[in-house]
Amino acid sequence: MELVFIPSPGEGHLRPLVEVAKLLVDRDDQLSVTIHIIPSMLGFGTRSASSYIASLSTASEDRLRYNVLSATESDDDSKPNFITYIASFKPQIRDTVEKLTDPPKLAGFVVDMFCTSMIDLANEFNVPSYMFYTSNATFLGMQVHVQYLYDVEKYDITDLKDSETTTELKVPSFTRPFPVKCFPSVMLSKEWLPNLIGQARRFQELKGILVNTFAELEPQAMKFFSGGDRPLPPVYPVGPVMNLKTKVSDSSDDKQSEILRWLDEQPSKSVVFLCFGSMGGFSEEQAKEIAIALEKSCHRFLWSLRRAPPKGTMGSPGEFTNLDEILPKGFLDRTAEIGKIIGWAPQTAVLANPAIGGFVSHCGWNSTLESLWFGVPIATWPLYAEQQVNAFEMVEELGLAVEIRNSFRAESMMGDTDFMTSEEIERGIRCVMEQDSDVRKRVKEISEKSHVALMDGGSSNDSLLKFIQDVTKNIP
């Protein structure tokens, strides 16, 4: 039986979906998967994403195939829309699926959270559709609740955009009231909220939702889904879904080897790692504040530093060409023995290294899961998308992180965020590097649970097997 996988563009969505596909074909030798890879919008992406896609396109096997789609050309000169861009690939995917359905039995479509328009294709082929939700279960619950408020209670949360910073809202996937100041900007946007609500309405058409989490991590959200208060399909927590290959894959990769050699020379849990995801970059002024904080904290550091795109533009972060010009005078000389500044970071391999004692992170969900897996506590510095929700959950709901600051209001999904002072950053670094803290102990405990979840008899392994059973049962 054949499953059609459709991830949305972007490393943070493509990589975990590929790992889920690998898990499925490993668990059931009757199952095959074809992953249709949509190219980045307007070339919007990173070099590592391009090389990853290139590696996939040559890695197809009998039961796990990759189909890299061709970029579409539009006659429309208007501002491109991410949702319509994804939908424009329907004809290509339809043609490919028609060729693949013989001889395999088409069992259904598994679509990314941003690819709900592809449910239409599943309906055309008269097969079930499922979703892989790359964010966490708590945010899934929030999206469902916001749609409920809008459609049933006739309550538009965008009206809260300019409310008092102390305003809170009851969200069932949290055990405590959620502060409006931590709502993702996209949810408080009159332009974007209709898209999120439209997505959530289509959840009811699905036969199931795979979520990149594990039951022990988010018990409140799983309780909400099992309560039956909202018309949702079954939710399968199958995470943490990650590529755990931390070894240098190519001996010629000098940059990664150099970073890991440097870490190997540092004492255990002595290094704070600063990294902000594939889209995280900073202005010169903010970079200088981070440098001041690092020097004052007196901790060893590995800092993935990149330049933010020009204000008001969308694009991948770039590299600073001359660090001496933007960092405090003499900083590089004074910290040469205890610190290392890099551009790209082999994040999984870094977090796996025993020298890492803390992680200053943007709180992307993939990064959060990796940090928990390796038992490294996080200091939260959310930048965009749903990262403020992740940060609140980690700090306030679960006690698995310390906060730098989690209160800002960007004007767009990738908008400018508030300026962080060196004092705030230094305080966060000192907290996350505290060796005997309660947070560090809780992270160690949840790390162990994350490993157990993926073992035979573990909650996520059982959930994945249940998904395979349900897929088989739902074949038309």
Instruction: Say if residue 374's pLDDT is above 90.
Output: yes
Residues 6+ apart with CB under 8 A from 17: 5, 7, 35, 110, 112, 132, 134
| pLDDT one-digit tens code per residue, 322-338 | 899 999 999 999 999 99
Question: Closest Cα partner for 25 from 55, 3, 58, 7?
Answer: 3
Q: Identify the DSSP state of 272.
A: E
Cα separation, 296 vs 427, in Å, equals 10
Q: What's this model's pTM, rounded to 2 decimal places? A: 0.94
Residue 91 pLDDT > 70: yes
Parallel, antiparallel or unpaired: strands 32-37 and 64-68: parallel
Distance CA 406, CA 390 (A): 10
Residue 115 has pLDDT above 90, yes or no: yes
Count CB atoms within 10 A of the CB of residue 411: 11
Residue 408 is predicted with a pLDDT of: 54
**How do residues 256-311 score in pLDDT, each as one tens digit?**
999 999 999 999 999 999 999 878 889 999 999 999 999 999 999 999 999 987 77
Q: For residues 117 and 108, what is the distance between their CA atoms, to the nearest angstrom?
A: 15
Which structural domains are found in the chain, ordered by start?
2-155+196-243+454-474 (3.40.50.2000), 254-450 (3.40.50.2000)
Q: What's the whole-number average pLDDT of the chain?
A: 90
Between the alpha carbon of residue 333 and those of residues 236, 330, 352, 425, the distances in Å are 51, 5, 28, 21
pLDDT at position 101: 60
pLDDT above 80 for 48: no
**Cis amide linkage into residue 103, ω under 30° from 0:** yes
Q: How far is Cα 415 from Cα 378, in angstroms, rounded to an integer?
A: 23
Q: What is the reported pLDDT for 5?
A: 98
pLDDT at 134 over 90: yes
Distance from C-alpha of 176 to C-alpha of 215, rounded to nearest angstrom: 19
Residue 78, pLDDT score: 57
